[in-house]
Amino acid sequence: MDNGITPHMAERKAKGLLRELAVVERLPGGKLMSGGREFFDLSSNDYLGLSFHPALKEAAFGKISRAFGSGASRLMTGTSGCHADLESAVASLKGKEAALIFNSGYQANVGVISALMGKYDAVFADRLSHASIIDGVKLSGARLFRFRHNDTEHLSGMLRAKRPGVRRAMIVTESVFSMDGDVAPLEELTGLKKEHDAFLMVDEAHATGVFGPEGEGRVHSEGLADNVDILMGTFSKALGSFGGYVAVSGEMKEYLINFSRSFIYSTALPPAVIAANLKAIELVKNSHGRRSKLLSLAGYLRQGLKSLGFEVLGESQIVPVLAGTNEAAMKMSRDLREKGFWAAPVRPPTVPEGEARIRLSISSEHTENMLSELIKAIAYCAGGRLKNA
How far is 195 from 201, CA to CA, in rounded Å? 15
Question: Are 377 and 341 within 8 A, CB to CB?
Answer: yes
CB of 278 to ligand PLP, least distance (A): 16
How far is 189 from 203, CA to CA, in rounded Å? 13
How far is 47 from 300, CA to CA, in rounded Å? 16
**Nearest residue to ligand PLP on Cβ basis:** 105
Query: What string marks each residue from 209 to 228 as x (binds ligand PLP by CB under 6 A) or -?
Result: --------------------
Residue nearer to ligand PLP on the CB measure, 216 or 381? 216
Whether omega before 28 lies within 30 degrees of 0, making that bond cis, reads no
Q: Is 44 in the site for ligand PLP (CB under 6 A)?
A: no
Query: What string marks each residue from 124 to 163 as x (binds ligand PLP by CB under 6 A) or -?
Result: ------x-x-------------------------------
Q: Looking at 109, 173, 326, 364, which residue binds ligand PLP (CB under 6 A)? A: 109
Which DSSP letter does residue 50 get? G
**How far does Cα 124 stand from its chain's mean position?**
19
C-alpha distances (whole Å) from 45 to each of 51, 55, 160, 331, 343 are 10, 19, 37, 22, 12
Q: Is 178 in the site for ligand PLP (CB under 6 A)?
A: yes
Q: Looking at 217, 244, 314, 320, which residue binds ligand PLP (CB under 6 A)? A: 244
Q: Is 106 in the site for ligand PLP (CB under 6 A)?
A: yes
- Region label for 155, one of left (φ > 0), alpha (ψ between -120 and 50) or beta (otherwise): alpha
Residues 323-352 that bind ligand PLP (CB under 6 A): none
Q: Is 174 in the site for ligand PLP (CB under 6 A)?
A: yes
Which DSSP letter does residue 33 get? E
Residues at the contact surface with ligand PLP, assessed by CB under 6 A: 104-106, 109, 130, 132, 174, 178, 203, 205, 234, 236, 244
Residues tagged active-site: 45, 130, 174, 178, 203, 206, 237
